[in-house]
Amino acid sequence: MEDVSRFDQSIQDLIGVKGGRNETFYEILGIEGEGMTEHYPSIGPDGEEIQFELGKTEEYMKHKTKRQRYTVRLVVAGNAVSAEGWLKRQGWKAFAIGATQVDLYVDPDLVDNPDLSDQK
């Protein structure tokens, strides 16, 4: 796992957080990696991101755009989806990408010497 000393205290404080119980239990164990990841938001003519709505799929798909964002990958024991939910309630942009990983989308300014290369 990564040396967390380069990361802002707000990110460091996430490590060790536990929550949930039984099947919703999670614990954030550490940082596995960082880098730029691709995503495909739908951006309207005003420059704002369009949220997906049933019945408006064609409009949503018409405005899909390829973008990159800085990502810190967290390692989670237990339920990564529960960890994602907790992170979102704390104001973070996060997405569980597997059983033991949650991607945290942050401003690169929160990391000393961020790795801005593409993640593999």
pLDDT, tens digit, for every residue of 87-108?
A: 999 999 999 999 999 999 999 8
User: Which residue bears the tokens 């979102």?
Assistant: 88
Structural domain for 81, as ranges: 4-37+69-110
- 55 is a domain residue: no
Residue 6, CB half-sphere, CA atoms under 13 Å: how many? 14
Could you tell me if 105 and 25 are in contact, meaning their C-beta atoms sit under 8 angstroms apart? no
- 78 is a domain residue: yes
- 46 is a domain residue: no
- 60 is a domain residue: no
Q: How far apart are CA 37 and CA 24, in angstroms?
A: 27
- pLDDT tier for residue 118 given thresholds of 50, 70 and 90: low
Could you tell me if 64 and 40 are in contact, meaning their C-beta atoms sit under 8 angstroms apart? yes
Structure confidence by residue, pLDDT tens digits, 65-84: 998 999 999 999 999 999 99
- 51 is a domain residue: no
- 106 is a domain residue: yes
- 90 is a domain residue: yes
- pLDDT tier for residue 3 given thresholds of 50, 70 and 90: confident
Quote the percentage of the chain above a pLDDT of 70.
Answer: 96
pTM above 0.85, yes or no: no
- 57 is a domain residue: no
Domain count, the chain: 1
Say if residue 32's pLDDT is above 90.
yes
